[in-house]
Amino acid sequence: MTGKTHASCGFLVGALTTQYLQTDVFTSVTIIILSVISSLLPDICHTQSKFGRRFKILSFITRLLFGHRTFTHSLSFIATIIFLLYLIQTPVYYMVAIVIGMISHVILDMLTPKGVKLFYPLRINVVSPIHFKTGGLVDLSLATALGVGALYTLFQPYINHLTQQWLSH
C-alpha cells in the first residue's frame, strides 16, 4: 500500500474511535492525528517511506536489523509498542488510537502480494486470499474511499441533522 492509503485508513479508524469514545474536540483531533501517524509507523523499516525519509538513521538501522515487512509489521512489534505506551502511562484512548492505526497498516499490507511476517520471528508470511498491487488503481480507489468514509464518519451527526431538516420541509 502507498502512504496515502495507510494515512487514509488511519484517518478513518481515528474518526471511528472518536465517535465510539464520544471524545471532546481536542481529544478527537489528537486521536485522529495519532491514528494517522501510527498508521504510517510500521514502514519505518522502509527507507523511502514517509517515516523512513524523516528518520533516515533509525529507518536504515531497522531495515538492516530486520528487513522490510518483518518485525515492524508483526504482532511482536504491536505488543512492544503497547508495553512501552503502558510504561509511560499513556491514556487509554490515545493508546487505542495508536494501536488501531498500526493494526490498520498491517492489515492493509496483508492485502498486497508480498504480505507480512505477522508472527515474526517466525518466517510465516501472511497474505490475504484477495490481494492487489501497491500503487495501482485499486490502491488509489481504496485510499479515496477510506478518506471519504472518514469525513462522513466525522460529519455524520451534521449530515443526519441536515437530512432530517431537508426531509421535514
CB 124 within 8 A of CB 70: no
Taking 80 as the threshold, does the pLDDT of residue 169 lie above it?
Answer: no
Give the CA distances from residue 145 to residues 4, 34, 142, in Å, rounded to whole numbers and listed in that order. 12, 20, 5
Taking 90 as the threshold, does the pLDDT of residue 145 lie above it?
Answer: yes
Average pLDDT value for residue range 100-106: 97
Give residue 78's Cα distance to chain centre.
12
Taking 90 as the threshold, does the pLDDT of residue 133 lie above it?
Answer: no
- The model carries a pTM of 0.89
Q: Give the structural domain span for 102.
A: 1-166
Average pLDDT value for residue range 62-85: 95
CB 37 within 8 A of CB 101: yes
Q: Please give the tally of structural domains in the chain.
A: 1
When the pLDDT of each residue in the chain is averaged and rounded to a whole number, the result is: 93
d(CA 135, CA 131): 12
d(CA 103, CA 42): 9
d(CA 23, CA 18): 6
Cell numbers standing for residue 95:
493508546
